[in-house]
Structure 1
Amino acid sequence: MPGVTPVALGSPERTAGELLAVLRRIKGTRDPGLEVSATQAAEMAHRHGFGLLAVVEHRDADPGLLMAGVVPVDRPVDPALGVRLDGPAIRDVTKGVTATGYPVVIVERIPVTGTGAQLQVVVTDPAQPRVAVFTLHSPTGRGWLDVAGLAGRFVSGVEF
């Protein structure tokens, strides 16, 4: 999908290298924090067994990182439970259905102070006790709605 660039998850080093190359293509080579960010994201993806690590980019926004994994649960999940989340950083909680027919809960977090934004999307599988958890993180939050919209269209096509 245009605007979403997955990186290989073969090894932490390979993942970090590919992620760094994508970030440098978008942000330029002069940002000294990119290598540290790429390494940390790659290590986290491998440590937690993510099935997806991707960069989400839009011309009017700073890039965001999209991470996802399928998580087994011990019993079927009621998507309505997520609608009751609250807290100072939670800006919006939405319940819906993906384009592929799966129930979904979307939680948007934007810090009260500081920068950045986060979107967590939990897609439930009614046929099996498992969920797909997607997290989109933008360190700056610049162009957040554009990046979140791209990620939302990507997640909407999820298939278990």
Structure 2
Amino acid sequence: MSQYSITTLTMKRSFDVPPAKVFGAWVNAEQMRKWLFTLEGTNKVARNNPEVGGEWEIVDHRGGVDYRAIGTYREIDTPHKLVFTFKMPQFSEDEDTIVVELTETQQGCDMTFTQHINVRYEPNWTEADIQKAVTEYHDGSEHGWNLMFMGLKQLVETGRISYTG
């Protein structure tokens, strides 16, 4: 029987646009398909029902494989806060919780992103094994979100994403 730990990833980003514009990129399916777990050129599905209890889904097709990300909204305070679940069923039935908070600033807004990541492990793992897995999940998630947030920033500030390195 597996057990799990939760690690929390918190990231902050600043945008030179009002909170409503960043909020829109999180909930508008046409904008989501350009940056959230996908790229416009590889996206197969971008579906969203941004209301409490509503579901969202992204399907990205890369290397001949479909990658599906899904979740349910738990809290929506337009344009300040989103709380939703996240899982990729082909890898795990575990659901993470994501909180996105937007605060207006003189230049635009600040985003605080928090992901509560479930890290499943086996009972025979040592504390070192568990810590290694927790670190890998945390760091891997942070790397992925860093890439996505670069696209998000370009999208909301320029209207498009440049895929150059």
- Fold similarity call, TM over 0.5: no
More strand by share: 2
TM-score norm. by structure 2 comes to: 0.31
What TM-score do the two structures reach when normalised by structure 1? 0.32
